[in-house]
Amino acid sequence: MFDTIIRGATIIDGSGKPGFTADVAVQDGQIAEVGKVGGQAKRTIDADGALLTPGFIDIHTHYDGQFVWDEELEPSFSNGTTTAIAGNCGVGFAPARSDMRKPLIELMEGVEEIPGIVLEEGLDWKWTSFPDYLDRIEQNHFTMDVAMHLPHAPLRVFVMGERALTHEMATAEDIEEMQRHVREAMAAGAIGVSGSRILEHKASTGEHVPGTFAEESEILGLARAMGETGKGVFQVVPLGAAGATFGNVTSYEDRLGEHRRIERIAEASGRPVTYLLHSYDHAPDEYAQLIAESAKARARGLDIVPQTAARGLGLILSLDSMHLFKARPSYKEIAHLSRAQRAEAMRDPGRRERILSEANDGTDPVLERRIGHFGGALETYYVIDDALDYEPEEAQRVDVIAARTGRTMEEVAYDTFSKDDGRHVLVKFLLNYTDGNLDSAYEMLRNPDTVSGLGDGGAHLTMICDSAMTTFHLSFWSRDRKRGPKLPVETVVHKLTGKPAQLYGLSDRGLIRPGLRADINLIDFDNVGNDMPEMFFDLPKGGGRMLQHGRGYLGTMVGGVMTRENDAATGAKPGRLVRGPR
């Protein structure tokens, strides 16, 4: 008597090999049999016509704070994720001295755009050391398994105090103490160590992240300490990773120098290193050159894995999140209304004329800063409607629409937000949308040496929802793409399951194999996709976040327990903290 038998599914097993039709039996949280399964089960599921895949492993999230107060972990939960890894990009909340909690909140508020008021309300700070933090997370029961890197910035602040915030050089004694904490964290179950040198990452105070300018001796010291434990992945955001997003354009020589540094990290640790890789408008061929450098390093025995995204990375402007009219007096008069009511009020000709003629009132400096960075240059935005096209044609760009319809670009933006019930959005692609298409993302994804990541779940809450990319892999790359070649579904699933499991040493999952953990997605491939991104105000203190739910999931199973069925939560929370490689 098995717990569950799933019969007649098309198995995409996570290895990258072609799919096949078979039954899958689940017993005691593990996959018991794959093939023609006899016998009976407490529950039998007829999966004829459905895809059966391993659960998705999201290696790049920022749920560090959310792990404390939220056990559901949307938007990853509705998008097939069964293992989420946080503590990326060198920022987080552990270890944490009581007198340095505020700077850590300011770091996460600035770098990952999680409102400080949300963090101040949601974090209970029942930890000091990194092992303490893992113990705190282990108290919760989640909809998926979770794991943590040890981030460099809080470690540096814990050891060096104010000197870390002012970017002083670490002494030999400082480095030795940091190494002790790395060993301690790895022994307690850290999945790896993360760091960042990206200049665009700044705290809400405007200061760079501690560790951005750290001497190489400090970085390599952390790498060696991790390597001494014989486990772990070093995740790094290299210099120039955001391209020209904030005007910080680095040369290829700079980026090549960063790759050499990554190679030295791999040499010092003897462990895998994964770094963020994008394509840029100002350097369209650079990603291919860096992939080639990583291949050369791998040929020398260094385990270096570029981490790529499945779609253009940028930001979303919507009526409920950030938009150009938010701080204009005539809009603020209706800001208390529901989204649909606001959209209707904005369509009033008189109000439309007033709002368009006004300037922001200057009462929201955060908005002013964001509009300065992102909200201008409307000619770089695309109008996205219910079709949810993430590879839009030039005809959907705001400046092209304005020229075609005889409106200003601001009028086009205004009319987009006020249309229907206010659900329509503008999207700007800052990375991976070279020459107005996703060809570079295709080339990065199909390379066998890359791993898919950069979902950023739990971060940039009012601007993006890229952790929905797990679903996008399937719906876009394997089924819907019209402007270029697609990817085989076996390749896509491998990038979401077997490849990240292999990278992080999670050998108990990532494949449909007898004896492995029964983390399973059952998918209606013809109908899998994402809803429109939408703001929900359900964080501590009523903070808002943009969610993009997945659909087409007939079932998601974590450790043999159904957590979702037919795109609805079952209420089960079998997920636990994963302490290190399995």
Side-chain half-sphere exposure of 246, counting CA atoms within 13 A = 11
pLDDT, position 18: 97
Q: With cut-offs at 50, 70 and 90, classify the pLDDT of residue 430.
A: confident
Whether 414 maps to a domain, the answer reads yes
Whether 392 maps to a domain, the answer reads yes
Token pair belonging to 479: 């089924």
pLDDT at 450 over 60: yes
pLDDT, position 378: 87
pLDDT, position 91: 96
Q: What is the pTM of this model?
A: 0.96
Residue where one domain finishes, among candidates 430, 453, 472: 430
pLDDT at 246 over 60: no
pLDDT, position 186: 98
pLDDT, position 478: 98
Strands 273-276 and 233-237: parallel
H or E stretch at 253: helix 252-269
* Helix 286-299, helix 252-269: angle, nearest 10: 30
Instruction: Looking at 360-477, list the stretches that DSSP marks H as alpha helix, in order from N- to C-terminal side.
Output: 365-370, 398-405, 409-417, 439-446, 469-472
Q: Is 411 found in the same domain as 325?
A: yes
Give the range of the structural domain holding residue 49, as residue numbers without chain letter: 1-55+481-526+540-570
pLDDT, position 253: 87
pLDDT digits (tens, 9 = 90+) for 185-204: 999 999 999 999 988 888 98
pLDDT, position 201: 86
Q: With cut-offs at 50, 70 and 90, classify the pLDDT of residue 157.
A: very high
The DSSP secondary structure of 279-319, one letter per residue, reads: -BTTBTTHHHHHHHHHHHHHHTT--EEEEE-SS-EEEEE-T
Q: Is 422 found in the same domain as 327?
A: yes
pLDDT, position 247: 57
DSSP 477: I
Whether 383 maps to a domain, the answer reads yes
Looking at per-residue confidence, does 430 or 304 come out higher? 304
pLDDT digits (tens, 9 = 90+) for 76-104: 999 999 999 999 999 999 999 999 999 99
Residue where one domain finishes, among candidates 412, 430, 448: 430
What average pLDDT does range 250-263 have in this prediction? 90
Looking at per-residue confidence, does 119 or 375 come out higher? 119
pLDDT digits (tens, 9 = 90+) for 281-315: 888 999 999 999 999 999 999 999 999 999 999 88
pLDDT at 28 over 60: yes
pLDDT, position 375: 54
Query: Kindly report the CA angle at 449 between 18 and 221, in degrees rounded to 5?
Result: 140
pLDDT digits (tens, 9 = 90+) for 321-372: 988 899 999 999 999 999 999 999 999 999 999 999 999 888 877 677 666 6
Residue 242 near residue 431, CB atoms below 8 Å: yes
Q: Is 418 found in the same domain as 327?
A: yes
pLDDT, position 244: 60
pLDDT at 523 over 60: yes
Q: Is 500 found in the same domain as 394?
A: no
pLDDT, position 377: 78
pLDDT at 418 over 70: yes
Q: With cut-offs at 50, 70 and 90, classify the pLDDT of residue 245.
A: low
Count up the domains in the chain and report the number: 2
Whether 490 maps to a domain, the answer reads yes
* Mean pLDDT for the chain overall: 94
Give the residue among 143, 149, 139 at the shortest CA–CA distance from 73: 143
pLDDT at 374 over 90: no
Whether 179 maps to a domain, the answer reads no
pLDDT at 442 over 60: yes
Residue where one domain finishes, among candidates 430, 462, 496: 430
What average pLDDT does range 202-225 have in this prediction? 95
DSSP 95: S
Q: Is 485 found in the same domain as 425?
A: no
- Distance (Å, whole) CA 257 – CA 299: 19
DSSP 395: G
CATH of the domain at 494: 2.30.40.10
pLDDT at 391 over 70: yes
Distances (CA, A) of 287 to 59, 432, 464: 20, 10, 23
pLDDT at 472 over 60: yes
Whether 424 maps to a domain, the answer reads yes
Whether 406 maps to a domain, the answer reads yes
> What is the three-class DSSP state of 185?
helix
Query: Which residues does 344 contact at the CB level (< 8 Å), separation at least 6?
Result: 418
pLDDT, position 248: 65
Whether 560 maps to a domain, the answer reads yes
Q: Is 501 found in the same domain as 421?
A: no
